[in-house]
Structure 1
């Protein structure tokens, strides 16, 4: 089977991975409405083909630098957990693919390899460390300090997970992580009093478990308190991931956020919420260029990336496709996935008459079909 598209990678990965693990990757919250809409909503935007434009030289590099670097394309691998379920080298392979392809990667708190190990594998590409804030702030503080010491550029605060979404596939499969799975970032952490701690993955948290009660994700996070606290413990930039409306974008900027990441957690949290491509314009218009705006959710083609850039995203990220690539062929599989996207973006740019990413604008697309409106 020739692997020409990300759908091809998905199909091949599904044949290689145990069903409960594949369901863990693929499933979303509730009736999967948001999961499906993340993908389907891109089809409501169409690209205007332009002719007789000199596109003999195509420049896919982002219009703006990211942390002082000019990456190859405005494409990155978003944080996702437990890459060793796809391939033994896990996040090391994913990060190595990003380094070789010259695109960035964000590392999950729940990676199987530590932030330092991944940074060593991808010194130029590993830039974001995704953070969950736990009730025991000493735990989160240790994670932040380790990320800064390892050389990460920004904390990517996950703001949309005060509680875990209803993920029925995991419940039906009674999904549990294999006992030999490492949690690289949580090794040798303590509770601030010298006592070693146990951090459960959110899918395995149990109510009433006294051993882990203070080491679960904190539902009390808020702009007024959380962002100043993070800024007090690190010199890294603080970005907010999980923003899907202009109101929250404004609050984030007021709180001192350095960047905004439009995301609905891949449809795994609040079901029946906005698909990210539909939320993007509201966020971009509220931000008014004051901070960078990035996006993930349902991105599968170069055309999807083009549409997000046209609306105003500075960078576009993929999550599940990296796992599919890993499952298909380890690091080379992730490199294949990224090359498919970059090639597809390049061809789309050429046929749309946009020689560079800077030439892509809202004039490059049209929208049709129903549009959401505030009541």
Structure 2
């Protein structure tokens, strides 16, 4: 993730001068749903560790500011509970394609009934990466206390019995459900069981983006899984242009997360082809600081910085933001 943050700094802005920027408009739509600004919320696990209301508080913040929240499958509350807490929020749900297709089907049905508007499939985790922070004990809560209630069918007596008897924790059950043999055919199967839009999260190359489009996805979230899955992968802002170029004209939307911390980062991502950005860690920081209000404050800070960046670059609307307004520093350094 440090690489993702540093990568943003290597892109320079090329502002235009003497433009009327008195009134700046940055509302947009994502998968046809209107949002107030192109800054949304990525799925992050363990929100209940940050605040007792966890995912529900984050959903309320998203609702109040009219933006999208992707709810992690590792949420502390059920999809229904989160939806009831923020009935007018635009909620998507994140999951994997699990070994037990019945579990996958159950999760999709569960989220559909709760009113969620899209399914986000994480595609960069056929296995769990080398999570060094977790190995060092950064995440101290016992796995069995981590109520990942959306991971399994609570009506399945075998699973309930195994967890209750301590034979397996929810975390162990969930990670055991990851599939090392999964292919894009899994997305095609998913397309056959739901009418919800499908977003794939974790694509970093043009080739994978093309395969995603061929599999029938509606959107691609360029993401490096918070930098926790694989050392040395591309920073997401560096991967973004290749993905956008590879599927140009397909009608599939492209988003990105990873390393977004400031309004200038949002501007750079949009200039390079993202329709919107998603925030992960900053949302958790706001949640830990002041619950729902903390999440709102984080979103408002980044939104206001983005508005300021638009003004200082001569943009009054999102369509004014062009790729020519952002350049990688290497284009200058190579001429020295």
After superposition, what is the alpha-carbon deviation per residue over 1:1-60, rounded to whole angstroms, capped at 9, x for unaligned?
A: xxxxxxxxxxxxxxxxxxxxxxxxxxxxxxxxxx21111000111111222100010012
Contact 1:136 / 1:215 at 8 angstroms: preserved in 2? no
In the alignment, structure 1 residue 242 sits paired with structure 2 residue 202: yes
Aligned partners of 1:169 and 1:67: how far apart in 2?
A: 35
**Aligned equivalent of 2:52:** 88
Deviation of 1:124 after TM superposition, in Å, equals 3.6
Deviation of 1:141 after TM superposition, in Å, equals 1.1
Give the secondary structure class of the aligned counterpart of 1:196. Answer: helix
Aligned partners of 1:123 and 1:259: how far apart in 2?
A: 24
Change (3 A) 1:370 1:275: farther
Match of residue 21, structure 2, among 55, 62, 66? 55
Deviation of 1:172 after TM superposition, in Å, equals 1.9
Change (3 A) 1:318 1:189: same
Deviation of 1:67 after TM superposition, in Å, equals 3.7
Match of residue 216, structure 2, among 256, 263, 266? 256
* Uncovered stretches (5+) of structure 2, i.e. residues with no partner: none
**Aligned equivalent of 1:267:** 227
Scaled by the length of structure 1, the TM-score of the pair is: 0.82
**After the TM superposition, which of the residue ranges 231-240 and 259-268 deviates more from structure 2?**
231-240
After superposition, what is the alpha-carbon deviation per residue over 1:295-329, rounded to whole angstroms, capped at 9, x for unaligned?
A: 00000000000000000000100101111001111
Match of residue 62, structure 2, among 92, 98, 103? 98
Scaled by the length of structure 2, the TM-score of the pair is: 0.91
Give the secondary structure class of the aligned counterpart of 1:58. Answer: coil
RMSD of the alignment, in Å?
Answer: 2.0
**Aligned equivalent of 1:44:** 10
Contact 2:103 / 2:153 at 8 angstroms: preserved in 1? no
Aligned partners of 1:238 and 1:72: how far apart in 2?
A: 22
Aligned partners of 1:108 and 1:253: how far apart in 2?
A: 23
**Aligned equivalent of 2:317:** 356
Deviation of 1:370 after TM superposition, in Å, equals 7.9
In the alignment, structure 1 residue 308 sits paired with structure 2 residue 272: no
**Aligned equivalent of 1:182:** 147
**Aligned equivalent of 2:37:** 73
Aligned partners of 1:303 and 1:214: how far apart in 2?
A: 37
> How many residues are aligned here?
324
Contact 1:139 / 1:189 at 8 angstroms: preserved in 2? no
Give the secondary structure class of the aligned counterpart of 1:358. Answer: helix
Deviation of 1:121 after TM superposition, in Å, equals 2.5
Aligned partners of 1:85 and 1:369: how far apart in 2?
A: 41
Contact 1:301 / 1:344 at 8 angstroms: preserved in 2? yes
Change (3 A) 1:46 1:186: same
Aligned partners of 1:243 and 1:217: how far apart in 2?
A: 17
Give the secondary structure class of the aligned counterpart of 1:233. Answer: coil
Change (3 A) 1:301 1:334: same
Deviation of 1:170 after TM superposition, in Å, equals 1.2
**After the TM superposition, which of the residue ranges 88-97 and 176-185 deviates more from structure 2?**
176-185
Change (3 A) 1:121 1:67: farther
In the alignment, structure 1 residue 226 sits paired with structure 2 residue 211: no
Deviation of 1:337 after TM superposition, in Å, equals 0.3
Aligned partners of 1:106 and 1:73: how far apart in 2?
A: 16
Aligned partners of 1:162 and 1:99: how far apart in 2?
A: 32
* Uncovered stretches (5+) of structure 1, i.e. residues with no partner: 1-34, 206-211
Aligned partners of 1:368 and 1:253: how far apart in 2?
A: 31
Aligned partners of 1:95 and 1:283: how far apart in 2?
A: 29
After superposition, what is the alpha-carbon deviation per residue over 1:177-232, rounded to whole angstroms, capped at 9, x for unaligned?
A: 345442232465355xx63355856xx53xxxxxx499521122111x20121112
Change (3 A) 1:119 1:189: same
Change (3 A) 1:125 1:256: same
**Aligned equivalent of 1:29:** none
